[in-house]
Amino acid sequence: MMQKRSIVNSFKFAIEGLIWAFKNQRNLRIHILVGTGVIFLGVLLKISFIKMAILFLTIIFVIVCEIINTALELSLDFINGKKYHPSVKVVKDIVAGAVLFAAFNAVVVGIIIFYPYLFN
């Protein structure tokens, strides 16, 4: 039977995972850097609260997709022993495609929100 974790340990492990991902995943760092820049631009341009919330949720969605992608890739590498297998490649490609789709969505949302502030 698994031992129950305290809420403090649960948060500690989650934070350790986020730190590991940040240190080891270049694309995650890029998403966080770009997302931070977008939030600062939103503050600078004084966009509305609701638009800022939409931006924040969109950015978080991309970051969460990247973290899930990382976790799934690491899990597949562990299970498969880093040997090539066509099915593993397909799964990794699909999850990477989900991140790409989320990032593309973020660009579209950014254009829709920032266009009136930057080009009017």
Q: What angle do CA 94, 99, 103 make, to 5 degrees?
A: 145
| Contact (CB, 8 A) for 54 and 99 | no
CA distance 55 to 109: 7
**Where would I find the H helices in 1-120?**
7-24, 26-44, 49-80, 86-118
- Locus of tokens 């999850």: 95
pTM of the model: 0.90
Q: What's the mean pLDDT in 70-94?
A: 94
> What is the band of 2 on the pLDDT scale with cuts at 50, 70, 90?
low
Task: Identify the architecture of domain 7-118 in CATH.
Answer: Orthogonal Bundle (1.10)
More confident residue, 51 or 1: 51
CA distance 79 to 88: 10
Q: What's the mean pLDDT in 74-90?
A: 92
Token pair listed for 89: 């490649």
Question: Where do the structural domains in the chain lie, given as residue ranges?
Answer: 7-118
Q: What's the mean pLDDT in 30-37?
A: 98
Question: At 116, which amino acid appears?
Answer: P
